[in-house]
Amino acid sequence: MKDHNDMPGHLARRFQQIAVAVFLAEVEDAGFDLTPVQYAALATIKANPGLDQVTLAGLIAYDRTTITGVIDRLVQKGLAERRPSSRDRRARELEITDEGRRTLRKITPAVESAQRIMLRGLSAKESEELMRLLRKAIAAGNELSRAPLRDAQV
């Protein structure tokens, strides 16, 4: 391991750093103020209306303690709602608001543009291969983080 360029951990950090910067820049250019994490949460709430926070966390592999703050900010921005569940008084049901739906719709081009930009050094084939390898490595390491990906239990 001569230098950090041979270390997958360093490369992971670096790629993520660039991915976040590109995402924020594209989204801001489009006139919005939403972080990658907030975007993923909002999109997942929209796709799974009424889900609780733990389920949301599992679907996008966040730690449950991180989710609290993320949702606080989505609620504060008027993009999502958090209300007590009727079935389980411990849980909160999450819903997207009309404003959240509007934001998601308008922000999508910027998000997709960001995904292209962060791969701009790679050909289409290389991009596919990178994503395939990342998915494979992630699948094998899923249980190694405190916040593994979980299927929605229906």
Partner DNA sequence: GGATATTGATCAGTATGCTGACTATCAGTA
Partner DNA sequence: TACTGATAGTCAGCATACTGATCAATATCC
Q: For binding to a copy of itself (CB under 8 A), which residues are involved?
A: 1, 4-23, 25, 36-37, 40, 43-44, 60-61, 111-112, 114-115, 117-122, 126-127, 129-131, 133-142, 144-147, 149
- Residue closer to a copy of itself (CB basis): 11 or 101: 11
Least distance from DNA to the Cβ atom of residue 126, Å:
24
Give the integer Cα–Cα distance in Å for 36 and 23: 7
Task: From the list a copy of itself, DNA, none, pick the one residue 15 interacts with, judged by a Cβ distance below 5 to 8 Å according to partner type.
Answer: a copy of itself
Please, which residue, 46 or 91, has the CB nearer to a copy of itself? 46
Q: d(Cα 79, Cα 64) in Å, to the nearest integer?
A: 20
Q: 3-state SS string over 12-72?
A: HHHHHHHHHHHHHHHHHHCCCCCCHHHHHHHHHHHHCCCCCHHHHHHHHCCCHHHHHHHHH
User: Which of DNA, a copy of itself, none does residue 90 bind to, with CB < 5 to 8 Å depending on kind?
Assistant: DNA
The least distance separating a copy of itself from the CB of residue 118, rounded to whole angstroms, comes to 6
Residue 38 and residue 99: Cα distance in Å, rounded?
A: 14
